[in-house]
Structure formats: C-alpha cells, structure tokens
Amino acid sequence: MPKPRVVTVGAGKIGSALGKVLKSNGARVDFWDAVPGKVRGQKPLADIVPGAAAVFLCLPSWCLREAGAAIAPYLSKKTFVVSVSKGLEKGTLLASDGILRQALPEGTPFVYLGGPLLADELLAGRPGVGVAASADPAALRRMKRLFAGTRLRVETSDDVPGVVWSAVLKNIYAIGLGMTEGLGWGANARGWFVAKAVEEAGGILEDLGGRRETFHGVAGVGDLVATGFSPHSKNRTLGEHWAKEGKAPFESEGQVSLPQLLEVLGHRTKKYPTLVALKETLIGRKRVRTVFGKLL
C-alpha cells in the first residue's frame, strides 16, 4: 500500500509537530507557509494539494479563511481538511467549522482536531491525545489511521460544535489559570478555579449548540489542564503577566477570542461569573487581584 501524502499549511510549531508525528508513521508530508523562506524548497499549493490524502491547516483563526480559499481550487473529493485553529474570526464571529464551511467547496470532508496538543511536547517526542470531530464517519476513520501507532493518540467525536468551542473556551479560561498563578494562589484555590471553569464552560457549550459532557472529557478538561498548567502555553503565560503587571508583552488567541465570545453570548454572559471576571480584567482593565479576590 502506498504511503499517504499529507499537506501541512502553516509551518509553525504545531504544524511542524503534527508533521513530525505523521512522518514517524510513514506519511509523506509537504509543508507550505505564507512566510517567504520559512519552508526550504517550498512547492506551490497547485503542485502539492491535488491528490493529497489530507490537508492540515495549522494556523490562527484570523488566517483560516484565506488559507481555505487558497487550497479550495486544488482539492479532490477524496481529500479531507483538518483544522487545529482555536479561535474566532473577527466580524463573522465564526469558529473553524463555520469559516471553512464557507471557504471550502461544498461537501469537502472536514475534521476538527482539538485536545491537549502542546506543540513543544510533541516535538520532543512526548505523547499527546487529540480529539478529532467530524460529521463524516469516513473522514474520522481515515484520521485515526493516519496517527495509528504514533505518540499522538486520536479519539473521535461527532459533537463538532462541542469540540470546536471547547478549544476556544479552554484558551480563555487558561488565561484565568495563569492569573491565579500570577496572584500566587495555592493548589486549593487553583483547584477551585478549575472546577468553576469546567462548570461554566459546560454551560456555555450548551448555549452554543454543543454537549456539556464534551467539555468534561479530553477536548475540554484535558486541554484546559494541559494548557493552564504548562509553561509552554501562551495563554497561561499571558494571564500570569496580566496578574503581575496589568498587561502582557504579547497577545494570545484566547485574549483575541474573548470579546468575540462575549458578543456571541450577549446577555447570557452574566450567568458565568468567572468569565465576567476575565472580561473585567482583560477588557475593563480592572486590577486582577481585586476582581479575582471577589470570586472566592
């Protein structure tokens, strides 16, 4: 049987990490990046996308529509598209599945890959567990085969909105966990924060069309714990900076997604006090110590 050929659009850390895992399983991986010179000997999308078994879009949410449109002319009916984007698009307020539903040809098999997938750990050869969500059972079976026997174990779900929104929510609540670290909260208080975050995120999933139990699994709690306690996480690190200094020297995808999530939720936001606290600190610029002190 010939080795599957995969295209990875986006040669940053997560694209490189997934490409490395796929290569370890015998796949032929072509990388492509919009940044000139980032991929040595890069071939045009017109040369590498046709006939690929899968195309992985390893990009932030604000690049996803453009990438989808770029690959669309070259996709065959047998190629499935995978997104790992964990944010929302400004203006449309759409997550990965909604963006690509508009950008890709009708009927293109789509898989969303969430879960605890810290790129630094995958690059170092450490294990990870992803949750592949799709309405297409055949695409899920093919996805599992791509990673079978590797250090990245792939679970599957048919709750696409649940897994997609879990990824968005865990980024936002991971900022809060970083804030508790910056405030010097101990394990008791941080454990309480995790419990409240899980409770709120489950309710938000139901508000947005997903299943509450999806956040209680690997796609939600698993990813939140990995992100919220990892020194490699940009969201956690941003929260720590914000608690100590009232600002951060960079933006994270969770920070960018927060005002968009609040717009999607509208008046329902007030049901979620921890989310309101993140709004008051990151958007309202209130002192983290004051706002979080009222949570406990």
Which residues are the active-site residues? 170
Q: In whole angstroms, what is the distance from residue 241 CA to residue 244 CA? A: 5
Task: Tell me if 115 sits within 8 A of 136, measured CB to CB.
Answer: no
- Identify the burial level of 139 via C-beta atoms within 10 angstroms of its C-beta, where 0-12 means exposed, 13-18 middle and 19 or more buried: buried
Task: Tell me if 53 sits within 8 A of 111, measured CB to CB.
Answer: no
Q: Which of 31, 254, 46 is nearest to 283 (CA)?
A: 254
Q: Which of 259, 242, 272 is nearest to 179 (CA)?
A: 242
Q: In whole angstroms, what is the distance from residue 90 CA to residue 284 CA? A: 19
Strands of 54-57's sheet in order across: 28-32, 5-9, 54-57, 80-83, 110-114, 128-133, 152-157
Q: What are phi and psi of 4, to 5 degrees?
A: -65, 150
Q: In whole angstroms, what is the distance from residue 47 CA to residue 25 CA? A: 23
**Cα angle 247-235-8, degrees, rounded to a multiple of 5:** 130
Q: Dig out the tokens for 223 from the structure.
A: 């990813």
**Cα angle 282-285-290, degrees, rounded to a multiple of 5:** 95
Q: Dig out the tokens for 133 from the structure.
A: 């969500």
